[in-house]
Structure 1
Amino acid sequence: MKDICIVTTASIPWLTGTAILPLARASALVQRGFSVRLYVPWVESKNAQSAIFPPGVTFSQPEEQRAYVKKWLEDKHLDAGAELAFYPAKYIAVFRSIYPSVNLAKFLPETDLLILEEPEHLFFFQPWNLSKLKAAKICGIVLTNYSYYCEDLFGKLSFALTPLYDAYDLFLKRKLPLVIRLSSALKGPENGVVSNVDGVLPKFFAPVSEKPEKPSTPFYYIGKFEWYKGFGELTELWTALPPEISKYPIDCFGGGSQMKEIIDTCKENGLQINHQPPTLSPEVKLAPYKTFINASVSEGLCTTSMEALAMGKWLVIPEHPSNEFFYGFSNCLVYRD
């Protein structure tokens, strides 16, 4: 086996796991001597790009985004030898997600191994094409807990719509010969594999030569400002802590449609959140903090928790199947209620 194709649902500069992790995976495979082509979505609409990329960052042509990604890889000291290819896609705001706008079975080339990052997402609107893919071996990697995502998206209708989505989700995954779930918190077929096939970038293990100014609090959170990311649970946790701890605010890095509502509600309930913008260099920005507080249980396996452990920080997390991988680390603190 020599040729590998990886297809994912997002791309740098969108700072999300499905953009970053496949890049790192492709880089690692190239270092091991494989010929790798990574397919990422090309969203042509500037308005859509503005909705998902950092402020002021948009591209007129795929070549511009390709150059941006290559520079990002070089800055992270990752091998940029994988071929970066684009498939036409559209951002659907109501789902806050990118979906292919082409028939992937026809668009993707024949290959020895095809790795589908989030196959249930890639083929959500074209399930009939899953069985038409041209590859000697096909592997799907399940990264996202869409049940939580649906509960947030559907609101009061989630009690009826989420079970329907879960059934459709499982139907898609069963069409693949091999499905790898990052944790047991993620749904998958009976013959699937549970394994952490992700990791963190090398720079999170390296000492930072020049640390930013010392923050006013030792505690931080990094991620989306969405209620399903555990902000309600975080507030409950914080108000139950002794005053010598709960007197501190939490610096929260990220953004999202519910940001103002979350900050205001948390403040009303005794938790002061200091908003910090998203960062392209978390290994630098987070260097002076001591503790990552992550109350979310909505992930399959949280990359930012892995990054905190790699940086030698204390990690505070709830007991949950999505967090089982972290229990054995000496700098991980698990709470049960």
Structure 2
Amino acid sequence: MGAIALLFALFLGADCAAPLGVLNPKPTLAELSDLRGRSRYISVFTTACLPWMTGTSVNPLLRAVYLEQRPENHQITLCVPWINFQDQETLFPNKVTFKTPADQEAFVRGWVREHVGRATAIKIAFYEAAYAPDFGSILPTADPTTCVPDGERDVAVLEEPEHINWYHNGAKWCDAYNYVVGVIHTNYWQYAITDPQVNFLQRFSRAVTLYTLNEWVVNAYCHRTIKLSGAVGQHPKAVICNIHGVRTKFLDIGTRAAGRRFTRGAYFIGKALWGKGYRQLVEQLAKYRQRTGQSIALDVYGSGPDHASIVEEATRRTLGWTFFPATDHAAPTLHDYKVMVNPSLSDVVCTTTAEALAMGKFVVCADHPSNAFFKSFRNCFVYSTAKEFTLCLQHALAADPAPLTDE
């Protein structure tokens, strides 16, 4: 896989790999990257789609809706994967499935109306894709660039540019589009190096291969990349900027929570994949019990391919967790929780952490580059050791969160 994808990256996308300072025919890359002052066609490509509640389905959708609202009147197309019925049954929560892309598009538009508070006129286009269990991810099975007409290929935003290009064998992104920017969401090194299903040598080999491959394909297919934090490698032509935000709905919940008493304790929310923090969650709460002699009655929200094995491990260790299917983080059932526990080390910037803080909750999270943005928040408790985790969680459960400020 790595050699083939790397070959495509070098052969098909090498023209994108030139340094930004190289002379180019007019207009310059700087001019092509400027979205201010005039309407542009912008295509946002991502690797997941609602109702799969994951960061790469929600954040790109919100980004597309935001870009639509800018005064330049940009013409936005959100490009998402279309997977078959069997894959939908595997990934989508609450047994939601779709017969046609039009049905799924209607679901996405309905979600925007409900959770953003307005309708959206963005175009939604689908490219053929399939779920790859070995990756825990959706991969394109056809050229994603073809889901946008030639005349509308101006600016491309590749959400997870490494992921979407592992098997890319279609048009050169930098030929198909005038300007290509990649947004790096995921710490794939951490996923690979902590995979519990294989031994250390296999994990290390996979991690090195994936790291190298990701460096190549991102350099080959993007004019510029944006790292949401310093948690990922030194990608060429990259800047670090947290361009994610939260829906106004979360801030409204946080404003209403000021001065109230939370009636429920701690919870975790995340896609049911071991790499999404569940391994660290098991270990930290097992050590918490060893240190204190008490178990935390944790409620866990999430659906996904590893759900059965996660439940089995938590049961085997008698951790006392209660499991619920994937739920929107803004749902009323989650308003009464006081503490979100998030020990994940695989995030680049964790969307659910931002959402929990916006809702006026405490967050207990690891001292890790992915959480650097949140460390200054009064309600965020950061730990480096198992002892610190215990102290942070005990304090969060005993205290009351500080009210949100205007800042």
Q: Same fold (TM over 0.5)?
A: yes
Which residue of structure 2 aligns with residue 220 of structure 1?
267
Matched, 1:112 2:154: yes
Letter in 1 for 2:165: F
| Match of residue 36 from structure 1 | 76
Indicate if the aligned counterparts of 2:79 and 2:147 stay in contact, CA closer than 8 A.
no
Alpha-carbon distance between aligned partners in 2 of 1:101 and 1:128, rounded to the nearest angstrom: 10
Once the two structures are superposed, residues 79-125 of structure 1 have per-residue CA deviations (whole angstroms, 9 ceiling, x without a partner) of 41211111122222332222222223444434332111111111110
Which of 167, 189, 214 pairs up with 2:235? 189
Does the CA contact (< 8 Å) of 2:128 and 2:144 recur in 1? no
Determine the C-alpha separation between the residues in 1 that align with 2:118 and 2:376: 28
Aligned residues: 333
Distance (Å, rounded) in 2 between the aligned partners of 1:272 and 1:82: 44
One of 272, 275, 278 as aligned partner of 1:231: 278
One-letter amino acid of the counterpart of residue 101, structure 2:
P
The aligned residue for residue 139 of structure 1 is 181
Aligned-partner SS, 2:253: coil
Q: 1:265–1:58: structure 2 CA closer, same or farther, 3 Å change rule?
A: closer
Q: 1:142 to 1:251 in 2, by over 3 A?
A: same
- Aligned-pair distance for 1:153? 7.8
1:109-155 deviations in whole A, cap 9, x for unaligned? 34332111111111110267445542222111000111222342872
Of 272-281 and 6-15, deviating more is 272-281
Kept in 2: contact 1:181–1:188 (CA 8 A):
no
TM-score (norm 1): 0.90
SS of equivalent residue, structure 2 residue 167: coil
CA gap 1:112/1:291 in 2 versus in 1, 3 angstroms: same
Tell me which residue corresponds to 1:99: 139
1:277 aligns with 2:317: no
The superposition leaves residues 4-35 of structure 1 with CA deviations (integer Å, 9 ceiling, x where unpaired) of 11111111111111111111001111111321
Which of 357, 361, 364 is the aligned partner of 1:309? 357
* 8 Å contact kept, 1:208–1:287: no
CA contact (8 A) 2:68 2:76 kept: yes
Distance change in 2, residues 1:222/1:174 (3 Å): same
Task: State the distance in 2 between where 1:64 and 1:106 align.
Answer: 21
**Residue 64 of structure 2 corresponds to residue 26 of structure 1:** yes
Say whether the 8 Å CA contact 1:114–1:139 is kept in structure 2: yes
Distance 1:22 1:101, change over 3 A: same
Which of 316-325 and 259-268 deviates more? Answer: 259-268
Other structure's SS at 2:154 match: strand
- Specify the code of the residue in structure 2 equivalent to 1:8: T
> In 2, Cα distance between the equivalents of 1:210 and 1:54?
29
Contact 1:235–1:270 under 8 Å retained in 2: no
Asked if 1:122 is matched to 2:122, the reply is no
Shift of 1:303: 0.5
Question: How does the TM-score come out when normalised to structure 2?
Answer: 0.75
Map of 1:295 onto structure 2: 343
1:68 is paired with a residue whose SS is helix
5+ residue gaps, structure 1, are none
8 Å CA contact 1:4, 1:34 repeated in 2 = yes
| Larger relative contact order (Cα-Cα within 8 Å, sequence gap ≥ 6) | 2
- Residue 83 (structure 1) aligned to one of 123, 145, 150: 123
Secondary structure of 2:142's counterpart equals coil
Q: Which shifted more, 233-242 or 307-316?
A: 233-242
Contact 1:255 1:278 in 2 (8 A): yes
**Structure with the greater alpha carbon radius of gyration:** 2
Residue identity matched to 2:77: R
Percent of residue pairs bearing the same amino acid type: 33
Q: Specify the code of the residue in structure 2 equivalent to 1:24.
A: L
Equivalence for 2:103? 64
RMSD: 2.6
